Amino acid sequence: MINEDRLVELFKNLCLIDAPSLSEHDCIEWTKVYLAELGLELQQDDAGDKIGGNAGNLIAKHPANKPGLKSIFLSAHFDTVEPTAGLVIEEVDGVFRSSSDTILGADDKGGMAPAIEAVQALMETGEDHGDIWLLLTVAEEIGLKGAHELAVKDLGCDFGYVLDTGPPVGTFVTRTATHDRVDVVITGKPAHAGKKPEEGISAIQVAADAISGMRLGRIGPETTANLGVIKGGTGTNVVCPEVSIRGEARSTSIADLDTQVDHMITQFNDAATKWGAQVEIDHERHYVAYDIDPADPCVAIAQKAAKTLGLTGDLRTTLGGSDANAFNTNGVTSIVVATGMDKIHTHDELISRADLVLTAELTLEIIREVART
């Protein structure tokens, strides 16, 4: 049985430890003590060293108590978007929010706490199970960096579940998009804006020219593009010499994504040529889409577990990414399990007590269904 009070206390403790991307060490050290006291086998990889963080992924194993059963993993990530330092948690009518000027951090402690509680509850029942791994990652919010470095295939898992998306609980993400990052630096030429502006080349004007003809926002039913950050300029009396722009594009179709990114790059290059400026473009594929067949055991087991609890088991497509993208790319089938986290990455982020419990119950039922299968 899921222990509600224990689950809620675990969730709060995890949220209250500040853990922005690349600085998850303190939260990981606390969790290591908690999992060690449960008797789990622990290891920590060197992902932190590879990605410039202060800690690597935490990997815990609850060994099988019956041979021949499938080995699975449950995964969630430590890091949160900022700010979380100084978090004060309040519960009103069974819903947890931040009452301080911070986010709550339910993304992804609202997945991590139920995953751990499900394993703990299983240990207390003594039921049959295969190897169960907890893959608790770092630096998910900045490009799935920890998961990309985690040697998931070496663990011998048959498949796994990533607890990291919003409600309704009892639904699963089996199809996602590919995500590309596009960073641009436009270099113009400074000049005094009052004395000789004609001698300058405004990087702002070049950027404006490029963007004015650029397809952005909703490009198609499952393709989007956005320019989210623009910085530049030194003063109103100086023709702007440099502008940096950070953008992205996503699509469930790699062909459509490539077309969109090529269009964005062409717009910047053409504008730079027109105005006599220089442009540097850094394009990187952050993660690749996956599309898991509904007949795959990973999906079928999850759906059966959900329906056992009276939940829908509906399958979803999302343009968002998660560590499941990295795990699928690295050769181990995984899907995303919906949790109760809502309004994530905002100061209005919330999660209900009931959804925390339901997510843990669903996770435990998935483990049981794996053993039955």
Give the pairing type, strands 315-318 and 172-176: parallel
Question: Catalytic one among 24, 131, 140, 323?
Answer: 140
pTM above the 0.85 mark?
A: yes
Give the separation between CA 69 and CA 127, rounded to whole angstroms: 12
Q: How many domains does the chain have?
A: 2
Which residue, 340, 323, 186, is CA-closest to 267?
Answer: 186
Give the separation between CA 62 and CA 219, rounded to whole angstroms: 45
Residues 120, 209: one domain?
no
pLDDT at residue 348, as a whole number: 93
Give the separation between CA 100 and CA 328, rounded to whole angstroms: 37
pLDDT at residue 84, as a whole number: 83
Question: What is the maximal distance between C-alpha atoms in the chain?
Answer: 82
Residues 130, 239: one domain?
no
Residues 244, 141: one domain?
no
The CATH number covering residue 203 comes to: 3.30.70.360
pLDDT at residue 256, as a whole number: 96
**Quick count: other Cβ atoms within 10 Å of Cβ 269?**
14
Residues 293, 282: one domain?
no
Q: How many CA atoms lie within 13 A of 187 on its CB side?
A: 4
Cβ(359)–Cβ(339) under 8 Å? yes
Average pLDDT, the chain: 96
Q: Which two tokens stand for residue 367?
A: 């483990």
Residues 161, 274: one domain?
no
Question: Catalytic one among 45, 79, 209, 361?
Answer: 79
Residues 64, 210: one domain?
no
Cβ(111)–Cβ(164) under 8 Å? yes
Helix, strand, or coil (residue 334):
strand
Q: Which two tokens stand for residue 298?
A: 């990973």
Would residue 79 show up in a list of annotated catalytic residues for this protein?
Answer: yes
Query: Which residues lie closer than 8 Å to 93 by C-beta, 6 or more apart?
Result: none
Domain boundary among 259, 287, 315: 287
Give the separation between CA 358 and CA 309, rounded to whole angstroms: 9
Query: Which residues lie closer than 8 Å to 255 by C-beta, 6 or more apart?
Result: none
Residues 117, 206: one domain?
no
Residues 158, 188: one domain?
no
Q: How many CA atoms lie within 13 A of 23 on its CB side?
A: 10
Name the E strands within 213-267: 217-220, 223-232, 242-251
Domain boundary among 287, 306, 337: 287
Domain boundary among 287, 315, 350: 287
Below-50 pLDDT ranges, the chain:
none
Which residue, 213, 187, 172, 350, is CA-closest to 277?
Answer: 187
Write down the residue that tokens 């009052």 correspond to. Answer: 194
Which residue, 177, 152, 174, 176, is CA-closest to 301?
Answer: 174
Partners of residue 250 on adjacent β-strands: 179, 224
Residues 293, 161: one domain?
yes
Residue 212 belongs to domain spanning: 180-287
